[in-house]
Amino acid sequence: MPHIEINHNLAAGKHEQLVKLCPFGAIEVAGGKLAVNAGCRMCRLCIKKGDGVFTLADDAPVNTVDKSLWRGIAVAAEISSGKIHPVTFELLGKARELAAKVDFPVYALLTGCGVSKLAGQLLEYGADEVFVYDQKELEHFRIEPYTAVLEDFIDRVKPSSILVGGTPTGRSLAPRTAARFRTGLTADCTKLDISPETDLDQIRPAYGGNIMAHINTPNHRPQFATVRYKIFPIPEKQDNPRGEIHSCQLAPEKLVSAINVCKTELKKNEKGIEEAEVLVVAGRGVKKPEDLSMLRELAGLLGGQLAFTRALVEAGWGDARCQIGLSGRTVKPKLLISCGVSGAIQFVAGMSSAEKIIAINSDETAPIFNVAHIGIKGDLYQIIPDLIRQIRESGQEVL
Amino acid sequence: MEIDPKTGVLKRDGVESKMNPYDLYALETALRLKQQYGGVITAITMGPPQAQAVIREAFMMGVDRGVILSDRRFGGADVLSTSYTLAQGLRAAGEFDLIICGKQTTDGDTAQVGAELAEFLGIPHVTGVCRINDCNAGQLSCDLDLPLELQSIQIKLPCLITVEKGIFEPRLPSYRLKLATDDREIIMLTLDDLPDKDPVHYGLNGSPTQVKRIFPPENNNAREMWNGTEAENSKKLFDFLKNNKFLQQLR
């Protein structure tokens, strides 16, 4: 099996320094000799940095797979509240792009109950062939029947790669099926490409996100990758797509489940500002309480929430639970748009780790511009209504 | 953990064998079920011998048995190989009715070992359990936290569940239990103790995925200032929101 071998002659006298090479503490000194323990993750850093002390030894025959038998990029469509989840369209766009590089078809798998009518949409967003399993046993996502369907689809179509949305159901279905086929799965990819050998080049953050890893599945098919929602763009819709829809069925005995869904109810949307992905923040630049409605409207269009600085909460314009800062809440949204906020340190302490900070302020010396990724010098009373109008006209507000 | 962008070497800070915080919720769920319905709780983990500290902590919370899968030949395992090794370890460790996993790890953050493990054991699984309602007559009733919905389900035992953070408040380790369990033996399993002894199925050999290279992420903390007119800026802002996928969301 592949393992790391140590040249003990070269290692002599350098044990202490070599032990430090391994970020996982897997290199140790045992009985006066250097050894690699079970903590090894085969990251191969020691090989790279060890000046020849460590080498990779691989004496096992590699299982090879005939890659020419596995063709096509497949996307497992996801249904959410009776509609196709937009992550499916994003994946179809990426699948189309990858397929073009190696001259592969794009397949889509549609699973559910009463979903046949949605199959045409998958063609519009890039699928060449859609395989539909529309059966009453598939009304709810239950792992055994859904895995049985994906297994049947793979046996029938033999796709080279399968892309699955990194949603809770996708993150359950993809690994279960990958294990059934004893093949590789790379979760939460942020970039995907394909090599001429049809290996997926999968890039994902590793070890808490401070490191990126490039991962391949060189000797197994199919290759599974999950991608989270909103990583890839939604492709342009085609008006008169060509393509075929295949209606498939599995025998009811293959769709039995040990899971019984008793009831499903919509969650009340009562997230606090800490959980919001998008926050619009009102500061002292807002002149009267009535003007908050326009900021609230923008927050609503972006699927986010309205939050306040301390000054506005103390003035009684906003709820204390929606206050950001040292005396309020600490937030880490994907996007924070501050409107008329000066950016006192007490405020910044509660929001500086937001992923993207956009600050609108008419005073170009406002300290908020030191923390904002995008600083907009201007009048929020012109910019915000104009922005709201554009979002409404584009029809791209939150559904 | 971080990577040094100049030298390409991983910085060692913060890498140690300690309990994955998400697993505390799994342990607490097991302890609550035991309080109400009885049973024996086994904590199982795969890792270097240093993982003993993790099992000791589980003992201090009230876990009955501890198993560590540790073998040089398990090194370099990806999701598939890790799940397979755990499945083999569970078979070697004895019978079970329910397997509880934490939501995810804090390093890989893939949240996929639970589903693969259930497949290798041939038992059903559900993820995202946020509430346990009942457990009797061979089945577990629980609620699942889905993105838009709360779903109540029943699942037959034996099965595997992954629990959400916050399902229960994890208890603190107890000093009394520490004293009582100080000399409790931890079962150490190597490849030779597992039903499948073929080394090809473990570690790097049993891993279909290969890490081709690792590199530091791009730094996107650039700051910019827009000084145009209000009309220009609102257009630019709209394009920014559109291009960065803040529009056209599901909800």
- Residue among B83, B159, B249 with most chain A CBs within 10 A, to mutate: B249
The tens digit of pLDDT for each residue in A259-270 reads 999 999 988 766
pLDDT band at A274 (very low <50, low <70, confident <90, very high): confident
% helix / strand / coil in chain B, to the nearest 5? 35, 25, 40
Which A residues in the span 199-218 are in contact with B, Cβ-Cβ below 8 Å?
A: 201, 205-218
Report d(CA A229, CA A90) in Å as an integer.
8
The yes/no answer on whether domain B2-201 falls in CATH 1.10.287.3510 is: no
Residue A354: closest C-alpha in chain B: B221
CB contact under 8 A, B108 and A207: yes
The CATH superfamily label for domain A67-255 reads: HUPs (3.40.50.620)
Residue B11: closest C-alpha in chain A: A23
Report d(CA B148, CA A264) in Å as an integer.
10
The larger pLDDT score, comparing residue A33 to residue A115, is at A115
Report d(CA A170, CA A77) in Å as an integer.
9
Residue A233: closest C-alpha in chain B: B245
Fold classification of A3-57 (topology level): Alpha-Beta Plaits (3.30.70)
| Chain A residues closer than 8 Å to B112 by CB | 171, 174-175, 185, 187
CB contact under 8 A, B149 and A265: yes
Fold classification of A278-391 (topology level): Rossmann fold (3.40.50)
| Chain B residues closer than 8 Å to A237 by CB | none
CB contact under 8 A, A375 and B207: no
Report d(CA B98, CA B31) in Å as an integer.
12
The tens digit of pLDDT for each residue in A312-333 reads 999 999 998 899 988 888 888 9
Lookup: tokens for A323: 């206050």
Are A141 and A171 in contact, with CB atoms under 8 Å apart?
Answer: no
Are B99 and B159 in contact, with CB atoms under 8 Å apart?
Answer: yes
Residue B60, CA distances (Å) to B29, B31, B182 in order: 15, 12, 9
Q: What is the mean pLDDT of residues A123-144?
A: 97
| Chain B residues closer than 8 Å to A216 by CB | 209-210, 212
Lookup: tokens for A128: 């060449």
| Chain B residues closer than 8 Å to A271 by CB | none
Computed on alpha carbons and rounded to an integer, the radius of gyration of chain A in Å comes to 27
Residue A39: closest C-alpha in chain B: B48
Interior CA angle at A218 toward A213 and A224, to 5°? Answer: 70
The tens digit of pLDDT for each residue in A173-203 reads 999 999 999 999 999 898 999 999 999 999 9
Which residues belong to CATH 3.40.50.620 in chain A?
67-255
What secondary structure does DSSP assign to A228-255, as a single string? Answer: -TTSSPPPPPPSS---EEEEE---GGGG
Chain A to chain B, count of Cβ pairs less than 8 Å apart? 319
* Domain edges within chain B: 2-201
Q: What is the mean pLDDT of residues A92-99?
A: 97
Percent of chain B with pLDDT over 90: 67
Residue A56 has a pLDDT of 82
